[in-house]
Amino acid sequence: MKKLLSAPALFAVAGVLLIVGVVLAFWYSPVDASSMGFSQKILYYHAPIAAAALVAYGVAFVAAIAYLRTQDLKWDRLGFVSVRIGLVFSVLVMITGMIWGKAAWGTWWAWEPRLTTFLLACFLYAAYWVLRSVVDEEQRRATYAAVFAVIAFIDVPITFFATRFLPEGLHPVVVGPGGGGMEGSMAVSFGICMIGMLVLMAAMIVRDLEIELIKDRVTDLKTSLGG
């Protein structure tokens, strides 16, 4: 089981799923009947990337709670890498979202609910990095970062439910109650892409966490040898 959840195994699974997903999205799923036409296919990657970013922030939230309860620095490391991965995916969300917005709405950006709340999340988690950089003492830095991660997470469910709470926004509700739904082949392609992107996010977190823990062991070794 440990080997199946290792970073190389997760990267392999994610690669297969994402390749299958993109093949199905472009050659199996029908072209959207709306004015977007073929450009609508960016949905198959834009939405999963956004979901992966929000889930990564969710992992950071759980890690922050765990650190505050245990004071174990491994949870701080998990929160740190999760925010970093979340920000990487967030940048990709912004890029793909602007491309989609130009095709769907004729504008690169609009101050609508989901875009605005997601941008706020990006600023909050960027501030998380600034906070870590200005505190030198390790335990204090981890504590401040954990508290900030808990507070910043408040914006994540707001971002996710923005289109349901404020339906006047430009983003449509596709999946879930009140959503427009998807035709069968579209749903299959979208589901595979979604799972693949989440597995990729998990693989990146596992890999980066292993690197951070190795760095800690090297630092401890240097300290013990120096002492």
pLDDT in tens, the chain (227 residues): 666 678 889 999 999 999 998 888 777 766 654 555 555 677 888 889 999 999 999 999 999 999 999 999 999 999 999 999 999 999 999 888 888 777 767 777 777 777 788 889 899 999 998 999 898 899 999 999 999 999 999 988 888 776 566 555 555 555 554 444 556 677 888 889 999 999 999 999 999 999 999 988 888 888 778 75
Residue 25, classified by CB atoms within 10 Å of its CB into exposed (0-12), middle (13-18) or buried (19+), is buried
Decide if 152 contacts 57 (C-beta within 8 A). yes
**What is the per-residue pLDDT for 159?**
82
Identify the pLDDT of residue 5: 74
Sign of torsion over alpha carbons 7, 9, 15, 17: negative
**Interatomic CA distance for residues 212 and 218, integer angstroms:** 10
Structure tokens at 7: 């970073």
Confidence (pLDDT) at 199: 96
Domain ranges of the chain: 7-226
pTM, whole model, 2 decimals?
0.85
Q: What is the pLDDT of residue 168?
A: 53
